[in-house]
Structure 1
Amino acid sequence: MSADELPTKEANVLRGHEGAVLAARFNADGNYCLSCGKDRTIRLWNPHRGIHIKTYKSHGREVRDVHVTQDNSKIISCGGDRQIFYWDVSTGRVIRKFRGHDSEIIDTFQDSVMSVCLTSSQLIAGSVDGTVRTFDIRIGRELSDYLGQPVNCISLSNDGNCVLASCLDSTLRLLDRSTGELLQEYKGHVCKSYKLDCFLTNSDAHVTGGSEDGYVFFWDLVDASVVSRFRAHASVVTSVSYHPKDNCMISASVDGTIRVWKT
Structure 2
Amino acid sequence: MSTTELPRKETNVLKGHEGAVLAARFNGDGNYCLSCGKDRTIRLWNPHRGIHVKTYKSHGREVRDVHVSPDNSKLISCGGDRQIFYWDVATGRVIRKFRGHDSEVNAVKFNEYASVVVSAGYDQSLRAWDCRSHSTEPIQIIDSFADSVMSVCLTKTEIIGGSVDGTVRTFDIRIGREISDDLGQPVNCISMSNDGNCILASCLDSTLRLLDRSTGELLQEYKGHTCKSYKLDCCLTNTDAHVAGGSEDGFIYFWDLVDASVVSRFRAHSSVVNAVCFPLSLLFDGTQKKS
User: Could you state the TM-score of these two structures normalised by the residue count of structure 1?
Assistant: 0.94
Identify the structure with bigger relative contact order (alpha carbons < 8 Å, sequence gap 6+): 1
Give the alignment of 1:89-104 within 5 angstroms.
89-101=89-101
For residues 81-104 of structure 1, the C-alpha deviation after alignment (integer angstroms, 9 at most, x for no partner) is: 111111100011111111133667
> Which 5+ residue runs of structure 1 have no aligned equivalent?
258-263
Contact 2:88–2:95, Cα closer than 8 Å, also in 1? yes
Greater shift, 139-148 or 187-196, is seen at 139-148
> Which position in structure 2 is the counterpart of 1:231?
267
Instruction: Give yes or no for contact 2:254–2:263 (8 Å, CA) kept in 1.
Output: yes
Which of 278, 282, 290 is matched with 1:242 structurally?
278
Contact 1:239/1:252 (CA < 8 Å) preserved in 2? yes
Greater alpha carbon shift after TM alignment, 9-18 vs 154-163 = 9-18
Aligned partner of 2:43 in structure 1 is 43
**Structure 2: unaligned runs, 5 residues or longer:** 102-124, 128-139
Residues 42-68 of structure 1: CA deviation (Å, up to 9, x unaligned): 000000000000000111111001110
- 1:133-212 to structure 2, matched below 5 A, reads 133-212=169-248
- Provide the rounded CA distance (Å) in 2 between the counterparts of 1:2 and 1:146: 33
Partner of 2:114: none
Aligned length: 255
Corresponding position of 2:3:
3
Note if 1:30 corresponds to 2:66: no
Tell me if the contact between 1:199 and 1:208 (Cα under 8 Å) persists in the aligned partners: yes
TM-score, with length taken from structure 2: 0.85
Aligned to 1:256: 290
Report the identity percentage: 80
Q: How far is the alpha carbon of 1:160 from its aligned partner?
A: 0.4
- Name the amino acid aligned to 1:14: L
Kindly provide the amino acid, as one letter, of the partner of residue 278 in structure 2: Y
- Work out whether residues 9 and 266 of structure 2, in 8 Å CA contact, stay in contact via their aligned partners in 1: no
Residue 129 of structure 1 aligns with which residue?
165
The 8 Å contact of residues 9 and 268 in structure 2, kept in 1 or not, is answered as no
Q: CA RMSD in A?
A: 1.1
1:97 maps to amino acid: K
Deviating above 6 A after TM superposition, structure 1's stretches of 4 or more consecutive aligned residues are none
CA deviations on 1:225-246 (whole Å, 9 max, x unpaired) are 0000000001100000112x22
Q: Which amino acid aligns with 2:205?
A: D
Structure 1 counterpart of 2:290, one-letter code? G
Q: Does 1:219 align with 2:259?
A: no
Partners of 1:179 and 1:64 lie apart in 2 by 31
